[in-house]
Structure 1
């Protein structure tokens, strides 16, 4: 494994533009609030949290050679995420994400990750050309992978020899992209991180609890599945059984990035040798701190 990092984060790295209001909102609401612009994207959110937990993440993504991209690259470095393997595009702009949140949660969001999709397998070159790995010498460390990649690219990753020895941790990025993870349902080295809605989309049925959802994912071939359900029970399902825990009760002040925080905290805990019970507990605690406005 490369000494400069201990996990690769593959997927979206972009500018998050988030509008937050302290009141309940509905369609058509026009209220006072705060608008922030911060580095974001699923892969970036995971990498930033991993860095706070003492890990050394490196990014594999596409960023444009534009003013926004230069600023984003600098911000990534300052936040402790490695950028040596980022694909820099001359003709694709830097991606962005826009969301509106009220006291009642996420109201609406638009993810513009078209440049990442257009870049395609160019972002994976370091894992193919021998820089980090190849088909003949696969990368054998942790990889956090998000569903913002195209369906075709995710399908290729699922069967690629270059990923055959990696510890793959996979998240869909959003319910709208959950079905892109179908190729990983039968992957022998993939752990799925999904919420209740995403689990339902993958299994094409509705679930009453995270335990039921985890059981269904396992029955469909998943090696391991972690299913969250907001403030309700969260479940970790493997062949050894399903473990469920309830997250701490907190006042929710933000939701965008909560799932990414949970996933990163869980990976970091397991890398230090934590048991399944302890890793799940630490991840839920970190996510609770995050949604209440703190930094886990």
Structure 2
């Protein structure tokens, strides 16, 4: 009797999988504010947020990341599996602790955040081994599914990925982890199969200028070599541009109750729409709706 081989996952999320520790208050805040609120600990990180959203839309993504062989890491992977995320290809480190992210949010948005993704950075290209050793692909048969790649990886590793034939056949979807890490994506700006997902501030950092609209930012990214760029601007107009065309849409107006993870939700929802062959304008509109539902406190479906 032969053993059946499990089908390869069609979507990979590569990057940070960690614990989000989020403090939220219903009051507007500033530096030095001390107010009552709620503190939660949830699975997070860009790759994890994308993977979680993909599962809510019925997909079964796999994550490529580094997690410590500690209690926090085991709990985190168990939580991921319970959500329907494939963790078979995660790199487990005995020497590195599981990463964490801490943020404070007020009624006026994100006040401050610290991302401790040092273990992911230290693991380096070890997280990519499944793409080389035949489990997900190899040099002769590169992975040909969809890859969501986040900017928590080091710039040197992103430079390697930009030229690595292991990624030549994949539909590469790329997002910075935060404005502070946006410039790490510069090596991927000219990648022939990469779609960039950035907000207005991140687009400005990549282009070394300020923009007053998402449409102008998306067009400029394409002029600078991007094959495709999606730019969001909070509740304002968003744009999806290639060298030839640009589509725009405005997000639904909602009461904002959370902001951490909104961009990741937008990206994942957009990926799902495109996997289902939705036309570009429809995919943009649907992704903006999903992100609006998320920031309002509801669940995107």
Q: Do the structures match in fold with TM over 0.5? A: yes
The answer for the alignment partner of 1:81 in structure 2 is: 85
8 A Cα contact 2:215 2:238, kept in partner: yes
Number of aligned pairs? 296
Q: Could you list the runs of 4 or more consecutive aligned residues of structure 1 that deviate by over 3 angstroms after TM superposition?
A: none
Q: Over aligned residues, Cα RMSD in angstroms?
A: 1.0
Match for 2:23 among 12, 19, 23?
A: 19
8 A Cα contact 1:68 1:94, kept in partner: yes
- Structure 2 gaps of 5+ residues are none
TM-score in terms of structure 1 length: 0.99
Is the partner of 2:253 in helix, strand or coil?
A: coil
The answer for the alignment partner of 2:200 in structure 1 is: 196
8 A Cα contact 2:236 2:250, kept in partner: yes
The answer for the alignment partner of 2:222 in structure 1 is: 218
CA distance in 2, matches of 1:78, 1:4: 19
8 A Cα contact 1:4 1:56, kept in partner: no
Q: How does 1:11-90 map to 2 (within 5 A)?
A: 11-90=15-94
Match for 1:267 among 259, 266, 271?
A: 271
CA deviation after TM superposition for structure 1 residue 4, in Å: 4.8
Match for 1:285 among 284, 289, 300?
A: 289
CA distance in 1, matches of 2:276, 2:59: 10
Q: How does 1:1-296 map to 2 (within 5 A)?
A: 3-296=7-300
CA deviation after TM superposition for structure 1 residue 5, in Å: 2.0
TM-score in terms of structure 2 length: 0.97
Is the partner of 2:96 in helix, strand or coil?
A: coil
8 A Cα contact 2:152 2:177, kept in partner: yes
- Structure 1 gaps of 5+ residues are none
CA deviation after TM superposition for structure 1 residue 129, in Å: 1.1
8 A Cα contact 1:135 1:160, kept in partner: no
8 A Cα contact 1:46 1:264, kept in partner: yes
8 A Cα contact 2:219 2:243, kept in partner: no
